[in-house]
Structure 1
């Protein structure tokens, strides 16, 4: 269980590995390995500080690898020993990629992937808490980590001291199409803001899109680059300080040689680096199933997109970027998603997903839940977050337009200290 230990910038890092069931309801299902890394201030190994577990955004991304004692971690370490968990299927925790699933057929892949949602991530956290002998701990959930937090409050509230969430309070009972209706509207607003700030950008985007309609261009991995892939760069609009870098990319998209204009290698390489789905396929495959409770997603974002025709680019029409959505065509076009197309289709049709949230338990919540809700969040709609929090007692939202979805990364020390204050105030009312 205990692994490598090292010290950096006044912090001690302790690695842990654990074995967990693939399926907590079936002891014969096999096991997987979990990786977690404790971070504590040097000298805190025998302190009485409580623990805090961090739930990463995603789904499908590993916990941060801190480079220094700063940001939200600096604030957290004043109060807590912090555990950075690689959620199952990510990082060093039985990672899922096109390579690790290659030996399974589509049905086997789909069945395996059903065990990688928030409910089992939380059960893994409980297993780790018990293995480490921790009576209760706090949680910090960023984005999808907030989804995991509400599942934790549903399943094991007695294990929690405090919960902090940044940009990650989901709807717990809405149809999935409601989520994507809100997301497309917010994405359209971000597009309008971008093109207002950079009037030439619309012309540049149309030039790139029209070029892709009429010519074949290939990314450095050999994958044909398409208008739909180009549109997905708009996911960056959901985080701060990205408008200008994207505009610079557009400015420098073309190169001319021998009298012919084509997309530059620099631009194409930048486009490939934007495709996180290639390296983190859970992000694509389970992006819609994370909302499913007793219903199938049926490619919700794709269906909702058809109601918003401006997102389906046609030459001569305005260009719009898309946002944090996944579509069935991705499993035809993306090189590393192609082997997972059958599994993705099966999971989009799966209607017997279990419940993630227990509304009865949440309605009697006694764990202080303090949340940063971002007014202009492109990924998690403010109105839906507030609707959920209205059903959970001892919760409080700090609603702010100072930050985008990445507030914890952009100004983590201030954001987390604000949530600490709110949590302390809620706790004082419970004493």
Structure 2
């Protein structure tokens, strides 16, 4: 199909900002006539119209690109650093931001959701590049954005000049028979280690978590959205275990969860409000609905995170007095689609995706091996303690991408790009161009 592109221009934050809206096919390369809009916001520094372009791919899945809100002329972090040598394009991945966004209140069928994976996102980006008349461009991807870059290098290497990944080297990208269960075993193992480190650093929190879970199993505590909070859903606050500063966030949350009301022990309202904020999916339903789908290859995922979790002490839904009680991380389980009101309308679609066994391939081992031969410079930040993208699996993939230079660090957790994005971007670029 012929791409339809509309571009408008304004001034924001001391830069020229162009907003691109591209009409793209829902299904690339097929006869399906359905279309979607793809939105991208391009920042151009003064005098930088001739600079090469860099596209940022956000983590997720299901989250839109950043919306800079700096009140000054100076944009900081990775974006400010990148603008010293590039025009930066903030791409809303399909289904997010302004790219025909998905809304929790309007559930979509599984047939539609299958086209929101990395291969379709990459096809959108490449269509945008060609339509804009851009040379091969640079890519920067955080977390799932790095998964998308790995797909880009596999399927459209002709569109890439440089690729920088932060916490986003997917496991088994070189293997056409990706073992989703092995990925979740690795993430649970990392999450167990982080739980134990948290308990050791903040004495008393382990017992407090057990007490909260026991209380939730025997008392009705309602969240602001009206539904009862279960102990298994409460444990989703463990996402913080994988973020720099997350230990402190959890410790503050758990400081004083209980009070006495009319002689009865209850959870404090501020505690319930903060828990609700930590575990909500209403603003990003895709994150929950298609999460396991990002690993789908030649077999059904079949609720892998749930199956594997139920086999591991500390991660089972039912609490055993003889086992630890661990907080969970990026582990989406089917009961969420009963307990979270914003996800209930998506239940049938989520089950259909879990049963789908004919996913299209996301990676090409031969293309990845030829990355350096194709003249593409690549570097990746790999975090030693990453509970979302396990270090060992990332390093295995790194060894199969030709010429990739890994930057291994334990200074930051998975959110390193948000802690020192400028320094991280400089490090990766120096690595990529130093050979």
Question: What TM-score do you get using the length of structure 2 for normalisation?
Answer: 0.93
Pick which of 198-207 and 249-258 moved more: 249-258
Alignment partner of 2:416 out of 396, 400, 407? 407
**C-alpha distance in 2 between matches for 1:16 and 1:269:** 38
Q: How far 1:11 sits from its partner (Å)?
A: 2.7
Quick one: distance in 1 between partners of 2:221 and 2:7?
A: 49
Deviations 1:16-63 (A, max 9, x none): 21111000133433101111111122332x3x2100000000100001
Per-residue deviation, 1:4: 5.1
The 3 A distance-change label for structure 1 pair 398 and 43 is same
The aligned residue for residue 28 of structure 1 is: 32
- Please give the residue correspondences for 1:325-364 in structure 2 after superposition, counting only pairs within 5 Å: 325-364=331-370
CA distance in 2, matches of 1:376, 1:205: 22
Q: Determine the structure 2 residue equivalent to 1:375.
A: 384
Where structure 2 has 5 or more consecutive residues not aligned to the other structure, the ranges are: 1-5
Query: Deviations for 1:175-234, whole angstroms, at most 9, x for unmatched residues?
Result: 001101110000000000000011111121122111101011111011211111111100
Quick check: 1:320 aligned with 2:326?
Answer: yes
* Secondary structure of the structure 1 residue equivalent to 2:360: coil
Cα separation, 2, equivalents of 1:169 and 1:152: 13
Distance 1:275 1:14 in 2: 35
| Residue in 2 that maps onto 1:52 | 54
Q: C-alpha distance in 1, partners of 2:377/2:391?
A: 20
Deviations 1:41-94 (A, max 9, x none): 2332x3x21000000001000011123300101110111000000100011111
What CA distance in whole angstroms lies between the structure 1 residues aligned with 2:347 and 2:179?
24
Structure 1 stretches lacking a partner, 5+ long: 427-431
Q: Which has the higher helix share?
A: 1
Q: What is the alpha-carbon root mean square deviation over aligned residues? A: 1.3
Residue of structure 2 in register with 1:125 after alignment: 125
String of CA shifts for 1:260-295, please: whole Å, max 9, x gaps.
221122111111111242221111111111111111
The 8 Å contact of residues 212 and 225 in structure 1, kept in 2 or not, is answered as yes
2:247 aligned to which of 243, 246, 250: 243
Is 1:202 the counterpart of 2:211? The answer is: no
CA contact (8 A) 2:240 2:249 kept: no
Tell me whether 1:234 sits opposite 2:243 in the alignment.
Answer: no
In structure 1, what is the equivalent of residue 256 of structure 2? 252
Whether the aligned pair in 2 keeps the contact of 1:206 and 1:315 (CA below 8 Å) is: no
Give 1:389's aligned residue. Answer: 398
Q: Is residue 2:7 matched to residue 1:2?
A: yes
Q: Does 1:220 align with 2:229?
A: no
CA distance in 2, matches of 1:236, 1:149: 25
In structure 1, the residue matched to 2:162 is 162
Q: What is the CA-CA distance between 1:396 and the residue it aligns to? A: 1.1
Deviating more after overlay: 251-260 vs 61-70: 251-260
CA-to-partner distance for each residue in 1:365-398, whole Å, 9 max, x for gaps?
Answer: 1211100111111110111111111112111101
Distance 2:197 2:132 in 1: 48
Query: SS at the partner of 1:379?
Result: coil
8 A contact 1:210–1:315 mirrored in 2: no
Rounded to whole Å, the distance in 2 between the matches of 1:416 and 1:373 is 13
The residue that corresponds to 1:90 in the other structure is 96
Measure the CA separation in 2 of the matches of 1:98 and 1:67. 25
SS of alignment partner, residue 370 of structure 1: strand
Helix, strand or coil at the partner of 1:372: strand
| 1:37 counterpart residue number | 41
Q: Is the 8 Å Cα contact of residues 236 and 329 (structure 2) preserved in structure 1? A: yes
Name the SS for the 1:219 alignment partner: coil
Distance 2:314 2:416 in 1: 29
- 2:79 pairs with 1:73: yes
Compare 312-321 and 286-295 and name the one that shifted more: 312-321
Residue 403 of structure 1, CA deviation: 1.0
Q: TM-score with structure 1 length normalisation?
A: 0.94
